[in-house]
């Protein structure tokens, strides 16, 4: 609380300094009662003016006004939470331009850019316009920048659905608030099956892990803790802990469904927040060949605070199991003395959403038809069913308007500088990330260029420029020789590099780079890094706890423009460096992910 208040004061001070010292466009905080300038959607389509930066700084205790999404009123520029700690209050021009794209994509009128929504389409058109401004070649379908992505939607009708444990002939209802039914899986209309606890729930022979030993999973619903053994290296924890890989294992053992108990130690989003989205439409790719949930009749995520009920009568407690996880010990499984009985009614529909793609054509006659893909997801969570603290819009300013704005800015900088790398650089803003990496999965499996011509992917998702960029967090740093490229660029920029300090959060498989990795393409994903237990770590953790997938990930939050600026330059530089390599990027021999490389089948 104090930190936020302190920053607000700093912001007010900084804005004042910008107005006096900056001598650029006036953008001071409006006086009380004055309406801050706001870009309209049509203005956004033409390119937002920088002058809208800033706006009113709410006084302590004052609640900033929030437009309702139905009113289509653009958001008042209530934010102004922009600090530039590194450059004495004079904001760099490029950082401002980047921020202006975030304002265009994440204002309230964009209604959270939900996949398949009209606002997402408008956001896609905005990106296409700016790709055109940067003279990128259209690389979508039919000579346009847009690649349409067809999706199936599913939404649970809770009033006509039920979930219960049946134990000793007694039926004990489970509340959907505490047991969320995932509609990423197409649920069977009714399910009645025994529950078997499988601990971490992994069967990975090559790592000598088999949590199914001695358990009969035929026709059962597996109950696992959403955790992975520490004996596994970070990227493998991420890979084998993913829903798709887990389901392969469970299906092979004969199971028909899953109950995943969230690990309270690793929950990015407090349960009270995450459960709010359970009644929103969930999605899957319409292309059935990309369905990874075949045979799964039900998928439930359980609130850890209510998980003891699953263990009642088993002679074990959930607390015991968690203690084993916390201690990094094996977690043996056992049959639970209850069945899960479910009746699920789903509303089904279809929508189309958009990937946006453009090419900066390379200059080398041999390599110009090879591509370095720069990606970032455009979609976010849309609008909440009910207001949360008076706000309904999941603006997704950091997640991930910031990443798409970085792509636009990189394209513009390369254009401005007349950069002509040897290989081509393919910019892709993908849809459906929040629905399960759907747009990138679609693009990576149906690319608009020859798939074998994609040599690398560099993805940006929520890179969090909340403080100056001194350390760059690189996911995939030690997996391919792209690690050498990013190390070299970081050195030039005077920043350190680090791998994921928290591999248990599965970040390596939780964003769009993973869709490319699974197609055999070496990839990197980057964020502003920090040392554990540092003040920066505290800011990052606080951001995750308070703003990640919350309506407060909006335009009023503090951001460090210099960090945004530096990040953009690093991604620009590493893209060009990769595009100019004489050889093609390779997975490291030791990398687990090398197995996805298609090698001779290209």
Nearer to Zn ion, 399 or 560 (CB): 399
Nearer to Zn ion, 91 or 376 (CB): 376
CA quadruple 36, 40, 41, 42: dihedral, nearest 10 = -150
Q: How far apart are CA 355 and CA 451, in angstroms?
A: 16
Stretch of residues binding Zn ion (CB under 5 A), selected from 65-73, 394-402, 423-431, 536-544: 394-402
Smallest separation, CB 218 to Zn ion (Å): 36
Residue 288: CB atoms within 10 A of its CB come to: 9
Stretch of residues binding Zn ion (CB under 5 A), selected from 182-190, 275-283, 397-405, 530-538: 397-405
Smallest separation, CB 100 to Zn ion (Å): 22
Nearer to Zn ion, 211 or 399 (CB): 399
Nearer to Zn ion, 226 or 511 (CB): 511
Smallest separation, CB 521 to Zn ion (Å): 22
Nearer to Zn ion, 49 or 544 (CB): 544
Rg of the Cα trace of the chain? 24
Smallest separation, CB 166 to Zn ion (Å): 36
Nearer to Zn ion, 211 or 554 (CB): 554
Smallest separation, CB 516 to Zn ion (Å): 18
Q: How far apart are CA 262 and CA 305, in angstroms?
A: 9
SS3 of 145-184 = CEEEEEEEEEEECHHHCEEEEEECCEEEECCCCCEEECCC
CA-to-CA separations, 440 to 431, 437, 461, in angstroms, rounded: 7, 6, 12
Q: Residue 440: left if φ>0, alpha if ψ -120 to 50, beta else—which one?
A: alpha
CA 374 to chain centre: 15
Nearer to Zn ion, 158 or 546 (CB): 546
Smallest separation, CB 578 to Zn ion (Å): 26
Answer yes or no: are the C-beta atoms of 599 and 493 closer than 8 Å: no
Q: How far apart are CA 576 and CA 578, in angstroms?
A: 5
Smallest separation, CB 64 to Zn ion (Å): 23
Nearer to Zn ion, 83 or 557 (CB): 557
Smallest separation, CB 458 to Zn ion (Å): 18
Stretch of residues binding Zn ion (CB under 5 A), selected from 122-130, 171-179, 359-367, 398-406: 398-406
Q: Note whether 554 binds Zn ion by CB under 5 A.
A: no
Smallest separation, CB 586 to Zn ion (Å): 30
Q: How far apart are CA 22 and CA 90, in angstroms?
A: 6
Smallest separation, CB 371 to Zn ion (Å): 26
Q: How far apart are CA 104 and CA 35, in angstroms?
A: 18
Contacts of 425 (CB under 8 A, 6+ apart): 359, 360, 362, 371, 372, 374, 414, 575, 576, 579
SS3 325: helix
418 exposed, middle or buried (CB, 10 Å; 0-12, 13-18, 19+)? exposed
**Candidate residues 44, 103, 292, 399; the one interacting with Zn ion per rule CB under 5 A:** 399
- DSSP code at position 114: B
Q: How far apart are CA 146 and CA 184, in angstroms?
A: 25
Answer yes or no: are the C-beta atoms of 300 and 164 closer than 8 Å: no
Stretch of residues binding Zn ion (CB under 5 A), selected from 221-229, 399-407, 467-475, 489-497: 399-407
Tokens of 320: 């015991």
Nearer to Zn ion, 296 or 431 (CB): 431
| Number of residues engaging Zn ion in binding (CB under 5 A) | 1
Q: How far apart are CA 147 and CA 126, in angstroms?
A: 14
Answer yes or no: are the C-beta atoms of 182 and 342 closer than 8 Å: no
Smallest separation, CB 549 to Zn ion (Å): 6
Nearer to Zn ion, 84 or 399 (CB): 399
Nearer to Zn ion, 229 or 432 (CB): 432
Closest CA to 39 of 10, 79, 92, 12: 79
Smallest separation, CB 573 to Zn ion (Å): 26
- Only one residue has tokens 């980057």, namely 526
Q: Which residue is nearest to Zn ion (CB)?
A: 399
Answer yes or no: are the C-beta atoms of 254 and 219 closer than 8 Å: yes
Smallest separation, CB 512 to Zn ion (Å): 11
Smallest separation, CB 124 to Zn ion (Å): 17
Q: How many helices (H) does the chain have, and how many strands (E)?
A: 15, 24
- DSSP code at position 30: P
Nearer to Zn ion, 399 or 500 (CB): 399
Nearer to Zn ion, 234 or 432 (CB): 432
Smallest separation, CB 432 to Zn ion (Å): 11
- DSSP code at position 308: H
**x/- letters, 271..300, toward Zn ion (CB under 5 A):** ------------------------------
Answer yes or no: are the C-beta atoms of 587 and 597 closer than 8 Å: yes
Nearer to Zn ion, 370 or 399 (CB): 399
Nearer to Zn ion, 378 or 486 (CB): 378
600 exposed, middle or buried (CB, 10 Å; 0-12, 13-18, 19+)? exposed
Contacts of 182 (CB under 8 A, 6+ apart): 282, 299, 300, 301
Residues that bind Zn ion (CB under 5 A): 399
């Amino acid at each position: 609380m104090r930190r936020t208040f302190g920053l607000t004061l700093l912001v007010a001070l900084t804005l004042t300094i910008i107005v006096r010292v900056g001598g650029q466009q006036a953008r001071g905080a409006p006086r009380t009662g004055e309406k801050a300038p706001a870009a309209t959607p049509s203005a956004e389509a033409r390119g937002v003016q920088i002058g809208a930066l800033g706006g009113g700084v709410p006084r302590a205790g004052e609640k900033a006004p929030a437009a309702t999404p139905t009113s289509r009123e653009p958001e008042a520029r209530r934010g102004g939470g922009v600090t530039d700690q590194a450059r004495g209050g004079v904001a760099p021009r490029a950082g401002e331009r980047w921020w202006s794209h975030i304002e265009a994509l994440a204002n309230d009128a964009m209604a959270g850019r939900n996949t398949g929504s009209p606002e997402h389409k408008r956001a896609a058109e905005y990106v296409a316009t700016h790709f055109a401004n940067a003279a990128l070649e259209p690389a979508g379908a039919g000579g346009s920048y847009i690649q349409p992505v067809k999706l199936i939607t599913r939404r649970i009708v809770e009033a006509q659905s039920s979930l219960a444990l049946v134990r000793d002939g007694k039926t004990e209802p489970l509340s959907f608030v505490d047991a969320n039914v995932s509609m990423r899986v197409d649920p069977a209309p009714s399910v009645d099956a025994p529950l078997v606890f499988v601990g971490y729930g992994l069967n990975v022979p090559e790592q000598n892990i088999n949590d199914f030993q001695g358990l009969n999973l035929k026709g059962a619903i597996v109950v696992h803790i959403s955790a992975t053994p520490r004996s596994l290296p970070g990227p493998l924890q991420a890979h084998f802990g993913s829903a798709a890989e887990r389901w392969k294992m469970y299906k092979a053992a004969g199971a028909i469904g899953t109950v995943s108990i969230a690990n309270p130690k690793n929950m990015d989003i407090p349960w009270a927040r995450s459960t709010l989205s359970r009644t929103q439409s969930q999605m899957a790719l319409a292309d059935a060949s990309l369905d990874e949930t075949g045979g799964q009749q039900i998928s439930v995520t359980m609130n850890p605070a209510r998980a003891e009920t699953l263990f009642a009568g088993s002679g074990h407690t959930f607390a015991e199991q968690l203690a084993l996880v916390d201690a990094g010990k094996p977690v043996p499984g056992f049959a639970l003395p209850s069945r899960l009985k479910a009746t699920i009614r789903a509303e089904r529909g279809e929508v189309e959403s958009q990937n946006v793609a453009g090419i900066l054509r390379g200059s080398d006659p041999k390599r110009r038809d090879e591509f370095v893909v720069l990606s970032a997801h455009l979609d976010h969570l849309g609008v909440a069913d009910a207001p949360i603290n008076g706000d309904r819009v999941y603006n997704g300013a950091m997640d991930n308007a910031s990443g798409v704005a970085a792509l636009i800015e990189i394209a513009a900088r390369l254009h401005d500088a007349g950069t002509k790398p040897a290989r081509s650089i393919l910019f892709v803003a993908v849809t459906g990330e929040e629905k399960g990496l759907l747009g990138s999965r679609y693009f990576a499996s149906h690319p608009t260029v020859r798939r074998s011509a994609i040599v690398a992917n560099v993805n940006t998702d929520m890179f969090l420029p909340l403080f100056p960029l001194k350390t760059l967090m690189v996911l995939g740093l030690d997996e391919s020789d792209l690690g050498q490229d990013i190390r070299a660029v970081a050195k030039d920029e005077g920043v350190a590099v680090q791998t994921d300090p928290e591999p248990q959060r599965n970040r390596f498989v939780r964003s769009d780079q993973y869709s490319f990795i699974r197609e055999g393409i070496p990839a990197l994903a980057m964020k502003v890094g920090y040392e554990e237990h540092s003040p920066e770590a505290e800011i990052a953790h606080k951001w995750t706890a308070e703003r990640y997938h919350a309506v407060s990930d909006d335009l009023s939050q503090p951001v460090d423009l210099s960090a945004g600026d530096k990040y953009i330059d690093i991604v620009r530089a590493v893209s060009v460096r990769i595009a100019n390599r004489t050889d093609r990027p390779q997975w490291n021999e030791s990398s687990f992910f090398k197995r996805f490389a298609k090698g001779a089948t290209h």
